[in-house]
Structure 1
Amino acid sequence: MNQQTELEQKLDLNDFLSTFRNYFSREKSFVMEGDTNRHLKFIDSFEGTEFSEPPKVEQIWESINVVKKFGTLSLSQIYEIVKITKYFFYLKKVPFKEPAKSWIEKINIDSYFSELNSLFDNEGNFLDEADERLRSISLGISEKRGEIRDSLSGLLHAKRLEEYLVDRQIHYLNDRETLLLKGGFNSALKGSVIGRSANGYFYVQPDTVGNFVKKIRDYEQERERIYLEYRREISKKFQNFVPFLRFIDKQFDVFDHYQARYFFARSFDLQFIKPEKSKTILIKDFYHPAIKKNPKPLNIDFSKSVLMVTGVNAGGKTMLLKSILSTVYLAKYLLPMKIDSFNSKIGSFKNIESIIDDPQNVNFDISTFAGRMVSFSEILKSEDSLIGVDEVELGTDSDEASALFKVLIEKLIEKNDKIVITTHHKRLASLLGSNENVELVAAIYDEERREPTYRFLQGIVGKSYAFETAERYGIPKNYVSQARVVYGEDSEKLNELIEKSTNLEQDLIAKNEKLAQKLAEVESEKEKVRELQNEWREKLEEQEQELQKIYKGAISEAKVSIKAKTIPDTHRHMTEAHKLYPDEKLIKDERTFDFQKGDKVRYKNSEGKILQIRGEKAKVEIGGMRVDLPLSSLHKAIKIKKPKKVQISVEKPKDQAFLRLDLHGKRRDEALEELDQFISNALLQGWEEIFVTHGIGGGILAKAVNEFLREHPRVHWFGDAPPNMGGQGAKIIKF
């Protein structure tokens, strides 16, 4: 097992990456050499273009070596090369966007390979239509097989064989057609015994059939001789194309890397994230692929040099460590993951080191702690590393280990390494807690459900819950009480203080979430009011246009009447103008009146309260006066509760700000409706540029968004976001 595979297993990524590797056309390492930005641009250029995945192909470097040594390739080896060139001929017809378009156009393939493609079918069989001799052989074999069937059918119905036939079927034994006969058949039929049945009967191939079979073998030998001619001719021709074969083989591998990542991301709605040059790690909504049951998103700010995770066993500490290392590992090799790529930042590291398992090994006489020391001695020699250590004090006295690891961690900080540490001992946390390069994180455990929440509070030390766990799993309470006494009153108070601080932090988070929900409700009510205003504004504009039209018509008729020469003509034109005067029924009120007694209503610029409703009228108290008003003249008074003043600080990038819409998980119609409304609101508020995320997924939503934006009259320009802002899964739109 190599180091890369070992790390994948430690991080619980082996199943996820095994699924990804299935998307390759042929087996290879997923490490891509070259510029990550360039690779990401190529993958992004596939978005919105439908094309087929490449066929499964074997390695051809051995075939190239055979050609170099003037050897002769088999038809199967030739077909593997044909599959590659045939796929590139297909790609040249696909309307890719840049830079993939130019790259594929620059790959020149000699016309000879197009001719070669026509010699094979899609299963790799050499086509008989390519050579008249082969067609003649195929017809000859087909005729002989027909004669064999006729001959056997005749024997099955021959009277002289009736007493020897076990059944009336043709049996295939060792790829030969035979009859199943009883003993003594020699007097009625000449043939060769091919085998015996379990009941002692004989499988016999008649001599007449044997003659046909011999003729078929002669045909097949002739066909193989012709195949050999083609194999030698093609292999000799390939000698002139050795540099090209090496080139096209390499280009196929490059494209295979791109297409595998693209189709894998699209299949599972995953995002690409480009590694930053800095060492900052900011993770937003990352889902570790190993968590299948009730997965929860991980959010963590790992800006400092050391992240020390404390808390109860099985509280999610190890999964946090694995998730951080996993995001860096996947980003390093440009492998897609389920993450908010727009708000996340992943640093670049030359080495990713993990000390997660128990290194104790009886065969090599090495203890757990000694194994840890071996690992740390190697890490101290490396540079530019992200290091993950699970249960750092494992295997020795916790106080001595805390002192030792304090020094080792400080040395790693000096080397500019980044370290994630998990522990349920508070001694090391207290020693390093005052270091400005160390961030303390507590894993939150759900005591009632007895399961990790995968939520983490930064800036505090987590509680171990050792005594509570002991009681839950059957240790007598009086034993636990004695243990608490031994543990000490001060230590127990420290535990209580830790628990209180954790609870306060969780309460604060819950209150903030509740406040955010209330603010969202207020915004929703405000949106309803805006929609109502827009609706009536549109109706008023329509009526205004209609009245303008009528007004212009009436004026026109009036002018004609003034110019009329006779009184009857004048009266006639005035009558026409009067007809154009708008009827009172022109403006229809299409509202449904669902007023009730006690409702607060608005009449023109005043507000009042309904005292009584009779038919189409209501008695309303306005400013101390009671008046009867038509229901059609009333509107419900809408009051928006003013939220309590809350001071919120929002940090925006200095260089740009976006109005953002997230369409992840929306159905096509629902997403387009939201996008339409979002654009309208942005235009009303004066925004010149907005940002929309839709993800990669199956490509359906992305395609629908593209089509919608192309048709929108106010959209001046739109395009894919930069790789660090979501790439092909997001759009920047300018009005």
Structure 2
Amino acid sequence: MNKNILEILEFDKVRSLLEPLVVTEQGKKELQGISPMVELSRIQQAFDELKDMAELFVHYPHFTLGATQEIGPAMRRLDLEADLNITELLAVKRVLTVSKELADFYANLENVQLRQLDTLFEKIETFPNLQGALMAVHDGGFIEDFASEELLKIRRQIQEKESQVRQVLQDLLKTKADMLSDTLLASRNGRNVLPVKNTYRNRVAGIVHDISSSGSTVYIEPRAVVSLNEEVTHLRAEERHEIARILREMSRLLRPHIGIIGNNAWIIGHLDLVRAKHLFARAYDAVVPALSDRQDIAFLNVRHPLISNPVANDLTFGSQLKVIVMTGPNTGGKTIMLKTLGLTHLMAQSGLPILADKGSRVAVFNEIFADIGDEQSIEQSLSTFSSHMTHIVEIMKHADENSLVLFDELGAGTDPQEGASLAMAILDDLRLRGIKTMATTHYPELKAYGIETPEVENASMEFDTDSLRPTYRFMQGVPGRSNAFEIARRLGLAEIIIQSAKDWTDTDSDVNRVIERLEKQTVESRKRLDHIRDVEQENLKMNRVLRKLYDELNRERENLLNKARVEAQEIVDLALSESEDILKNLHEQASLKPHQIIEAKSQLKKLAPNVVDLSKNKVLKKAKAERAAKVGDEILVTAYGQRGTLINQLKDGRWEAQVGLIKMTLKRDEFGLIKAEKDNQPQQKQVHVVKKTSGKGPRARLDLRGKRYEEAMQELDEFIDQALLNNMSQVDIVHGIGTGVIREAVTKYLRRNRNVKEFGYAPQNAGGSGCTIVTFK
């Protein structure tokens, strides 16, 4: 894209807004090189990286990078077989350190789905060995003693010699204090010297290094320390030589990894720039727009990034719309709106967030051309019109259907009639070539052009005639009015003069009234839209509040359910404990009387808690009582779901019932009557169970065929116990004929059981010797 548009729309100032947010020199270098892209995929990749960074900040709001320096020149020196100095090694060391921090951060990343940044994190390589070697380079800019044994040895010798020098000089300070002009040591030419009075200079043997400006003091290096200082100087040279060797060795270690280290530095800088973009978006309420490949532009509350407190406007530039013509007076904000359109696209195509609301769309242009501002050239002897026209000619040559063209005051600087005609001809040529164009003008003729020409739309900037100030509100679809007569009237110009001016002008008053009506409708529509947005925000707030309350209610409900579960478990545990005690007492008694069994069953039934109706907070009532039972009624034994017939009522209120081949003694609440109810359908029997019982009822028949001996005996014992507990008077046991082992075992068991009244084989039509019918006492 041409550099001229970047200067006209002040894209450099946008870059300067991001510069304080970048912490690495690599990131700043990339920021300075950032420019609009024309490949849709590259722009989308930049937007995806920005979305990833926003997602990263949701879970890690304090994500940051360590500051690093530029290492490009150092890497090139290494590639040329040169050795790095301490400063360059420190820069490389910092890059390796930050690389390790980012790699560790990515390894511990949780609950974040990245679309683009994951590939960058994965390409970072760490070098623990190199980091360990570079630890010898101190951040203060010197080589540590532990860099090598030789360096440590040399420095210890230097310390010893310097200590001896200081000791000798301290002794001389004491013994020759009367010959010295000061009691402190001085330093000249890197040597420690004594400040000797000039009158005693011949009394102190040594080398004179300096004389004070007054000549009263001579700085002498005593002969006693000259040899020691020479040794120190020699050791310093050895130290420099050893440091140079260490730097050479470190450079040798780094040289095979030039490419990877350089790539790490680039990744760090790129992540830093993406982070800066996200911080910019947060600071300026910017968003990542959608990309359109059909030149479909939609800006929602778009703002110019370089203006303090800018007015937000909506701008729709659909794919079928080719030209927007803005008319109206000066100082209304037309040029700013023009620049906002261009600069917003430059930012978006550079991968930057734009100052607009979510839902905004931008197009991708190969070129953006603009003719904005006064281009009068004194050096070239060009008038304003000539200068503008020269620029417009160049634009017309190079613009195509993938370009965006911006004209400010098109056709200005010449005869109004000719200028208007020329402006319409230029716009119509661009329209026919399918080039998106936005232009501002004062010419009223272009209003009619915007209304009558397809693919062209009028627009204007709102002007408040009450305050005589522009509102900087963009009104799309409404041509602008000059408002000159109204402004003059409010400023106090005589009405007779204003009326005379109206008589002189040929302005169509009907058109102005239509425009005024359109302006009012546009303002009213904007107010309604603002109200809708306010209501939408209130709804969003209310939705968040309701969501919060809903979550709290769910948590409270869950807490209550958990509490109820705990209480229910306690009840179940208590019931199980008591039932175990009841059963234990039953087993401990040698013989069980019928009334004892009945009493134990009633105790077990009492363990079941009452069911509470939570909606009414009361105990549910039992089912309605049925009519009185009588002999001959058909019944359903609720304990095990068998049909039967009542055959007799005993004196104690219990009933005898015939259930299949078994005669049973039942209490009234242990069976339900089967009665017929009439409905619209033919009469049919419907079963009504009076009482529900939990679990499976007792069985009246036990089938032992195919069982092993031990298994059959265990099931037989449990079956007889259940039959006795349920007051069953008769049961049958199917054991089959087979080898007779199970049949004999059943017979022996029944003989030993004191609760068995009698038993015998079933009739031939009911199983014969393969089935034993048992009657209880």
- With the shorter chain as reference, the TM-score category is 0.5 to 0.7
Q: Which residue matches 1:25? A: 25
Q: Which residue matches 1:94? A: 105
Selected match of 2:421 from 403, 410, 424:
403
2:42 is the counterpart of 1:35: yes
Q: Which residue matches 2:85? A: 74
2:367 is the counterpart of 1:351: yes
Q: Deviations over 1:426-468 (max 9, x none)?
A: 2323333322212222212345666543422211112234456
SS of residue matched to 1:443: strand
CA separation of 1:411/1:174 partners in 2, compared to 1, >3 Å: closer, same or farther? Answer: farther
The two structures have a TM-score, normalised by structure 1, of 0.63
Q: Deviations over 1:128-184 (max 9, x none)?
A: 31112222344445556666776777777777358834xx77778888878888875
2:443 is the counterpart of 1:453: no
User: What CA RMSD, in Å, does the superposition of the two structures yield over aligned residues?
Assistant: 5.2
Selected match of 2:343 from 318, 326, 329:
326
Q: Distance in 1 between matches of 2:471 and 2:101?
A: 50
CA separation of 1:483/1:180 partners in 2, compared to 1, >3 Å: closer, same or farther? Answer: farther
Q: Percent identity?
A: 21
Q: Distance in 1 between matches of 2:496 and 2:163?
A: 91
Q: Deviations over 1:245-266 (max 9, x none)?
A: 2464256325523431223313
2:456 is the counterpart of 1:442: no
2:8 is the counterpart of 1:10: yes
Residue 416 of structure 1 and its aligned partner are, at CA, apart by 2.6
Selected match of 1:499 from 507, 516, 520:
516
SS of residue matched to 2:404: strand
SS of residue matched to 1:279: coil
Selected match of 1:55 from 61, 67, 71:
67
SS of residue matched to 1:321: helix
Counterpart amino acid of 1:346? Answer: V
Residue 346 of structure 1 and its aligned partner are, at CA, apart by 0.5
Q: Distance in 2 between matches of 1:495 and 1:205?
A: 100
Counterpart amino acid of 1:60? Answer: G
CA separation of 1:504/1:236 partners in 2, compared to 1, >3 Å: closer, same or farther? Answer: closer
CA separation of 1:30/1:532 partners in 2, compared to 1, >3 Å: closer, same or farther? Answer: closer
Q: Which residue matches 2:236? A: 220
The answer on whether the counterparts of 1:261 and 1:336 sit within 8 Å (CA) in structure 2 is: no
Q: Distance in 1 between matches of 2:492 and 2:460?
A: 26
Selected match of 1:261 from 239, 262, 274:
274
Q: Distance in 1 between matches of 2:536 and 2:275?
A: 39
Aligned pair count reads: 571
Show the 5 A alignment for 1:264-663: 264-266=277-279, 268-269=281-282, 270-273=286-289, 275-292=291-308, 294-303=309-318, 304-340=321-357, 342-382=358-398, 383=400, 384-446=402-464, 452-466=470-484, 481=498, 484-485=501-502, 488=505, 490=507, 494-495=511-512, 497-511=514-528, 513-514=530-531, 565=596
Q: Distance in 2 between matches of 1:255 and 1:390?
A: 42
The two structures have a TM-score, normalised by structure 2, of 0.60
Counterpart amino acid of 1:312? Answer: P
The answer on whether the counterparts of 1:53 and 1:259 sit within 8 Å (CA) in structure 2 is: yes
SS of residue matched to 1:35: helix
CA separation of 1:38/1:162 partners in 2, compared to 1, >3 Å: closer, same or farther? Answer: same
Q: Distance in 2 between matches of 1:522 and 1:36?
A: 34
Q: Distance in 2 between matches of 1:174 and 1:349?
A: 68
Q: Distance in 2 between matches of 1:89 and 1:310?
A: 59
Residue 282 of structure 1 and its aligned partner are, at CA, apart by 0.6
SS of residue matched to 1:455: strand
Counterpart amino acid of 2:421? Answer: A
Q: Distance in 1 between matches of 2:460 and 2:466?
A: 18
> Which structure has the bigger radius of gyration?
2
Residue 267 of structure 1 and its aligned partner are, at CA, apart by 5.4
CA separation of 1:224/1:531 partners in 2, compared to 1, >3 Å: closer, same or farther? Answer: closer
Q: Distance in 2 between matches of 1:279 and 1:538?
A: 50
Residue 284 of structure 1 and its aligned partner are, at CA, apart by 1.5
Q: Distance in 2 between matches of 1:336 and 1:248?
A: 30
SS of residue matched to 1:362: coil
Q: Which residue matches 1:120? A: 137
Counterpart amino acid of 1:265? Answer: H
SS of residue matched to 1:301: strand
In structure 1, the gaps of 5 or more residues are 588-735
The answer on whether the counterparts of 1:273 and 1:346 sit within 8 Å (CA) in structure 2 is: yes
SS of residue matched to 2:239: helix
SS of residue matched to 2:376: coil
Q: Distance in 2 between matches of 1:202 and 1:329?
A: 72
CA separation of 1:282/1:518 partners in 2, compared to 1, >3 Å: closer, same or farther? Answer: closer
SS of residue matched to 2:482: coil
Residue 285 of structure 1 and its aligned partner are, at CA, apart by 2.8
The answer on whether the counterparts of 2:179 and 2:200 sit within 8 Å (CA) in structure 1 is: no
The answer on whether the counterparts of 1:393 and 1:402 sit within 8 Å (CA) in structure 2 is: yes
CA separation of 1:324/1:527 partners in 2, compared to 1, >3 Å: closer, same or farther? Answer: closer
CA separation of 1:313/1:119 partners in 2, compared to 1, >3 Å: closer, same or farther? Answer: same
Residue 392 of structure 1 and its aligned partner are, at CA, apart by 2.2
Q: Which residue matches 2:700? A: none
SS of residue matched to 1:490: coil
Q: Deviations over 1:322-343 (max 9, x none)?
A: 2211221111111123332x41
Counterpart amino acid of 2:17? Answer: T
